[in-house]
Amino acid sequence: MNQWVYLNGEYVPREMARISVFDHGFLYGDGVFEGIRAYNGRVFKLGEHLKRLFDSAKAISLKIPLSFQELKEKILETLRKNQLRDAYIRIVVSRGEGDLGLDPGKCPNPQVVIIADRISIYPEKFYQEGLEVVTVGTRRNLSSALDPRIKSLNYLNNILAKLEASMRGAAEAIMLNQEGYVTECTGDNIFIVDKGTLITPPDWAGILKGITRDVVIELAREDNIPVEEKVFTPFAVYTSDECFLTGTAAEIIPVTKVDGKVIGSGKAGPVTCRLISRFRELTQREGVPIYKKEEKDG
């Protein structure tokens, strides 16, 4: 079956989904994006993802040429057009075509792309055995230079960290901020569990405020697990009882080794396992319905 891509108001087959080489998204990484998941016929946390997209666009003075509601409808339509119920959705808004100079003022037409694809799920083994991660030398972007809260097309900071991790044979990289505090991984937020308390860096430490991170905090509070948003150093990770990462693609994934040190028991811990099962249950029942059938089911 053909894959249809939404491109500025039209649906085109994937081979025809092309953007100009003069687009400043391509030339300079000037634009914003979102990654969203659909589970079981429903789009999970669609409103939250759209809000973050619009906030990111605002922060870089990029005008999205669709309203919140229009974009929401286009996303659902793209899923229907591709007959998907479980999917990974990528929204990209780039600055659009300009000249070879930096000036965004010369880019009158921001480009909107919606790609709905089948998900490639991580092997179940990762969720049981956990990941091995390393702390890398590449620091997370300074908030005063390029605020990590902006989900921009400029991911070179994260890519450099990912390269370091790959070169050291690790699946992910823990990035520190300028002060040496843990921020996040290259595409996921980080949590530790210390004596029953769930701890994650606050957004001002220099992180992208993950939607999955917010869901996990909410689930933990519902379970009466104490949650603290505070900064911590790699030492706190090494000596924690449990550690896990969160993100739209990875969901909740345990970390069992950091910089060669085994975390807790070396297996996914009880708090992590509980949150994984609660998260999976939530994604199966909550979200914006794509098709009429789910609408009726409520």
- Catalytically annotated residues: 151
3-state helix, strand, coil in the chain (%, to 5): 35, 25, 40
x/- contact string, 169-208, with ligand PMP (CB under 6 A)? ---------------x--xxx------------------x
The DSSP bridge pattern shows strands 10-13 and 189-194 to be: unpaired
The residues pairing with 90 across neighbouring beta strands, listed in sequence order, are: 35, 115
Interface characters, 19-58, with ligand PMP (x: CB under 6 A): ----------------x-----------------------
Applying CB under 6 A, among 56, 135, 248, 256 the residue interacting with ligand PMP is: 248
Residue 246 is a binding residue for ligand PMP (CB under 6 A) = yes
The residue among 188 and 242 lying less far from ligand PMP, judged by its C-beta, is 188
- Residue number of the CB closest to ligand PMP reads 210
By C-alpha distance, which of 85, 66, 60 is closest to 6? 66
Among candidate residues 24, 5, 27, 75, the one with its CA nearest the CA of residue 47: 75
Give 135 or 189: the residue with its C-beta nearer to ligand PMP.
189
Q: How far apart are CA 273 and CA 254, in angstroms?
A: 8
What residues numbered 62-121 form the site for ligand PMP, per CB under 6 A? none
157 near ligand PMP, judged by CB under 6 A: no
- Reported as half-sphere exposure (CB side, CA atoms, 13 A), residue 45 has a value of 23
Q: Choose one: 23-31, 73-81, 99-107, 240-248; the region binding ligand PMP (CB under 6 A).
A: 240-248
Conformational region of residue 45, where left means phi above 0, alpha means psi within -120 to 50, and beta covers everything else:
left
Site membership for ligand PMP, residue 212 (CB under 6 A) = yes
